[in-house]
Amino acid sequence: MENKILDFLKKKQDYISGDHIAQRLGISRQALWKHIQALKDSGYDIEAVPHLGYKLISSPDRLFPSEISRHLNTKFIGEKIYYFDSVPSTMDIAQQLSMKGAAEGTLVLAETQTKGRGRLGREWNSPKCKGIYMSLILRPQIQPGLAPMLTLLSAVSVCEAIREIAGLDIQIKWPNDIVMHSKKLGGILTELSAEMDEVRFVIIGIGLNVNNDKKALLPSAASLKDIKKEEINRIELLQEILRRLETNYLIFQKKDSQPIIEKWRDYNITLGRRIKVLYHRKHIEAEAVDIDNDGGLLIRNDSGLIQKITAGDIVHCR
Ligand code: BTN
């Protein structure tokens, strides 16, 4: 009901009569008043003026599922949203939900994480209401070896969404770092549960620095606000990420990896570069030459030998 009341308030910039809303929703004025109080308790600033009615002054900077679902228009991604103020990690919640049979497209969101994790055992700093911290459950019918493609697909989706909402040309450092001006804005953590030849579920964890203040960031990191010099609407950005994820995922499932790899190439800053990589416990320098059909990075060492890197970290040399 609160959602429907918000629809009325958001449609009108001006005051809207309580009688009108109550009548249209088939509730009493007293019931309406109670729902308005509940909305105020959630952080909506709603002005009530006798004889004029209610007016929405501002909405809280929160990723409430009701706000995310409004005009989202996806088929299954984000159809079910679990929202938390604070959790250790959205990955753990998504794991538990997946094991209990949560549907494909189920989304776990948190305003902050106390034990947010990044790749290779790193920590993911998740300051409250500043970023996007989400885990998405997918159940793709693919061979487990193709799962890294979902990391690339997610990185592409995030870049497309940032371009659309913030107008920034973001880049991808293989495999999953979202960067701009060599500073890291976000990353993707993909966790897989699979049999020998069948994927049970994949959890796509996305962490993005959105409205973080520069001072609070590591020297190697940046936020969209820091680059754009203005606050970014996290709700609009998250909605666009979900839409792009769905579109790209459907393309990936219907066709093959190629259309996603082509998009990834457009955003990547790794191919053609000299890189340093940890390979079979040794650091080697090589040239990043191409991306394989399963998302692996093909590198050419100084003897001309081509090798495929499927995991780990790389450093751009120059
Ligand atoms: C990386 O190392 O670049 C990947 C970072 C992924 C962080 C996200 S935030 C939401 C989700 N929950 C986690 O604990 N990690 C991922």
Q: What local confidence, expressed as pLDDT, does residue 101 receive?
A: 97
Domain with CATH 2.30.30.100 in the chain: 274-316
65-267 adopts what CATH topology?
Answer: BirA Bifunctional Protein; domain 2 (3.30.930)
Please choose from 63, 107, 117, 177 the residue to mutate so as to test ligand 1's pocket, defined by most ligand atoms within 8 A of CB.
117
- Counting from 1 in the atom list of ligand 1, the atom nearest the Cα of 131 is 9
- Counting from 1 in the atom list of ligand 1, the atom nearest the Cα of 208 is 9
Domain with CATH 1.10.10.10 in the chain: 2-58
Q: What local confidence, expressed as pLDDT, does residue 298 receive?
A: 94
CA 259–ligand 1 middle distance (angstroms): 25
300 closest CA partner among 120, 279, 178: 279
Please choose from 108, 206, 212 the residue to mutate so as to test ligand 1's pocket, defined by most ligand atoms within 8 A of CB.
206
Please identify, in words, the CATH class of the domain defined by 2-58: mainly alpha
**What is the DSSP-derived secondary structure letter of residue 203?**
E
SS3 302: coil
For 286-310, how does the pLDDT look when each residue is reduced to its tens digit (9 = 90+)? 999 999 988 899 999 999 999 998 8
Distance of CA 156 to CAs 172, 187, 299, Å? 8, 11, 21
* Nearest alpha carbon, ligand 1 atom 3: 187
Q: What local confidence, expressed as pLDDT, does residue 310 receive?
A: 85
What stretches of the chain show up as alpha helix (H) in DSSP?
A: 2-11, 18-25, 29-41, 65-69, 90-99, 148-166, 224-228, 234-254, 258-267
* Nearest alpha carbon, ligand 1 atom 16: 205
Domain with CATH 3.30.930.10 in the chain: 65-267
Q: What local confidence, expressed as pLDDT, does residue 259 receive?
A: 94
How does pLDDT run along the chain (318 residues), one tens digit per residue? 888 899 889 887 889 999 999 999 999 999 999 999 999 999 999 999 998 999 999 999 999 999 999 989 999 999 999 999 999 999 999 999 999 999 999 999 999 999 999 998 899 999 999 999 999 999 999 999 999 999 999 999 999 999 999 999 999 999 889 999 989 999 999 999 999 889 999 999 999 999 999 999 999 999 999 999 999 999 999 999 999 999 999 999 987 889 999 999 999 999 999 999 877 777 889 999 999 988 899 999 999 999 998 877 888 886
274-316 adopts what CATH topology?
Answer: SH3 type barrels. (2.30.30)
* Nearest alpha carbon, ligand 1 atom 9: 207
List beta partners, residue 278: 283
SS3 61: coil
Indicate the Cα dihedral angle 129, 132, 137, 141, nearest 10°.
Answer: 170
Where does ligand 1 bind, in terms of residues with CB under 6 Å? Answer: 89-91, 113, 116-119, 122, 124, 133-135, 176-177, 187-189, 205-207
CA 206–ligand 1 middle distance (angstroms): 5
* Nearest alpha carbon, ligand 1 atom 5: 118
For 102-120, how does the pLDDT look when each residue is reduced to its tens digit (9 = 90+)? 999 999 999 999 999 999 8
Q: What local confidence, expressed as pLDDT, does residue 149 receive?
A: 93
